[in-house]
Chain A
Amino acid sequence: MSNVGIVIVSHSPLVAEGTADMVRQMVGDEVPLAWCGGDPDGGLGTSVEAILAAIDKAWSEAGVALLVDLGGAETNSEMAVEMLPEERGGKVVVCNAPIVEGAVIAATEASGGASLQDVRRTAEELSAL
C-alpha cells in the first residue's frame, strides 16, 4: 500500500474501534488502518506494546499518522515512535488533533495519496479552529 497509514490510539478500545469504523466508512480499504485502546490488563489506558503492534499493522512506506486522545495516549505514542527501528522512526508522526475528526480527515487526505506531512497538516488544522 502506498497511501499513508492511520493508527488510532484511545484510552478506550470502544472509542478506538468506533473511530476506526468511521474512518472505514469514509475511505474503505484505501488506507492501511489499525487501532488500539486499553492498558495491558484491558482497563482504560494505553499500551506502548499495543501501539507498536498497531503501527506495524498499518505500516506503509509512505508513513503512518497517529491520532490519539488524552495525555497518556500521546506520551505512550511518542515513546513508541522513539522505540521504532531507525528506518521507520522518521516516517511516523503523532498528530496534534482531535481523535475522531482528526482520524477521519487524515484518512480522507491519505486516501488521495497525500504525503505524511500533508496528512498531518490537514489533521492539525482542526486544532486551530
Chain B
Amino acid sequence: MSDTDPRLRDIFEATAQAVIAHADELTELDAAIGDGDHGHNMKRGMQAVLGELDTLAAKPWDEALKAAGMQLVMKVGGASGPLYGTLFMTLGKSLDTPPTREGVAAALKAAIEAVMARGKATPGQKTMLDVLVPASEALAAGRSPAEVAEVAREACAATKDMLATKGRASFLGERSIGHIDPGARSSQILIETIAGKFGDVK
C-alpha cells in the first residue's frame, strides 16, 4: 500500500454529502419523468460510501475509487448503481497514482466510455452523459475547475429542453421535454463538488 492522499477523504465525504443533501430534489426530478427513486437510491449508495470512509481514506486513489464504485453497484438498487459504479470503478482502473491532471482527464474519458457501454447510451439522449461528456471535454481542454463546473451547470440546464430517448423517461416521448434529467443533475452535483475542491467554484 502506498500513496494515500489526505484530500481523498475530504473529497469523498463532500461528494457523498452533496448528493445526499440533494436527494429530495433528485427524487422530484425523477418523479416528473421517471420512477421517482433516483434521490433515494443515490442517497443509499452514498451513505454506504460514507460508511466505508475510513477504509477508503486508507487506500490510494485508484483502489479507493474502485471500492467506492463497488459500494454504489451493490447498494444503489437502480440502473444508476451500475452506471455510477462503473464510472467510479473505471476511473480507479484507469488512474495513475498519484493522479495528475492529464491522467485524470484521460481516466475520466475512459470511465465515461465504460458508462456508455454499460448503459448502451450515447450523448444527446437526455441522460447523465449529457453532463459528463462536455465536462470531461472541458477538463481535457485544460479549462479551470471553475470553468468545468460552469460547463456542467449549463449542460445540466440544457437537458430540460431535450427529448429523452433512453431510460424510463423515453416512455414519455415528447412529455419528457421541459424537465431537467435527474441523472444529469446528479452528475452535475458530483462534478461541481469535486471541482470545488480543486478551485474557486461559484
Residues of A whose CB lies within 8 Å of any CB of B are 11, 39-41, 43-49, 70-72, 75-76, 78-79, 83
Interface flags for B60-85 (1: CB within 8 Å of A; 0: not) read 00000000000001111111111101
Residues in B with CB closer than 8 Å to A70 are 168
Task: Give bound CA distance, A47 to B76, whole Å.
Answer: 8
- Measured between alpha carbons, how far is A45 from B41 in the docked complex, in Å? 9
A40 to B76, CA, bound (A): 8
Beta-carbon contact of B82 and A48 below 8 Å: yes
Question: Is B77 a contact of A43 with CB atoms below 8 Å?
Answer: yes
* A71-B167 in contact (CB<8A): yes
Given contacts A72-B78, A72-B79, A78-B82, contact A45 B167 (CB under 8 A): no
Partner of B82 from A11, A39, A75 at Cβ < 8 Å:
A75
Q: Is the CB of A45 within 8 A of B118?
A: no
Alpha-carbon separation in the docked complex, A83 to B81 (Å): 14
The CA-CA distance from A40 to B71 in the complex, in Å, is 12
**Contact A43–B37 (Cβ < 8 Å):** yes
20 A-B pairs besides A46-B77, A47-B77, A72-B80 with CB distance below 8 A are A11-B35, A39-B37, A39-B41, A39-B76, A40-B75, A43-B37, A44-B37, A45-B37, A45-B78, A48-B73, A71-B79, A72-B79, A75-B79, A75-B119, A76-B78, A76-B79, A76-B81, A78-B82, A79-B118, A83-B73
B77 with A41: CB separation less than 8 A: yes
* Residues in A whose Cβ lies below 8 Å from that of B160: none
Taking Cβ atoms with an 8 Å cutoff, the residues of B that contact A are 35, 37, 40-41, 44, 73-83, 85-86, 118-119, 167-168
Report yes or no: A40 in contact with B44, Cβ–Cβ below 8 A.
Answer: yes
A31→B40 CA distance, assembly (Å) = 36
How many residue pairs at the A-B interface have CB separations less than 8 Å?
A: 59
Shortest Cβ distance from residue A123 to the other chain B in the assembled complex, whole angstroms: 19
In the complex, how many angstroms separate the beta carbon of A94 from the nearest chain B beta carbon?
A: 12
Given the complex of chains A and B, what is the CA–CA distance between A83 and B70 in angstroms? 10
| Inter-chain contact A48/B74, CB cutoff 8 Å | yes
**Which residue of B35, B44, B79 is within 8 Å of A41 (Cβ)?**
B44
Decide: A71 near B83, CB < 8 A? Known: A45-B37, A46-B77. no
Name the residue on B nearest A52 (C-beta). Answer: B74
Quick one: which of A40, A41, A70 has the most chain B CB within 10 A?
A40
A41 CA / B85 CA spacing, docked (Å): 18
CB contacts (< 8 Å) of A45 on chain B: these are 37, 41, 77-78
Contacts of B78 in A (CB 8 A): 39, 45-46, 72, 76
- Tell me the smallest distance from the CB of A93 to a CB of chain B, in Å: 16
Q: List the B residue with the shortest CB-CB distance to A49.
A: B74
> Which residues on A sit within 8 Å (CB–CB) of B81?
48, 72, 75-76, 79
A70 to B37, CA, bound (A): 14
- Provide the residues of chain B in CB contact with A43, threshold 8 Å: 37, 40, 77
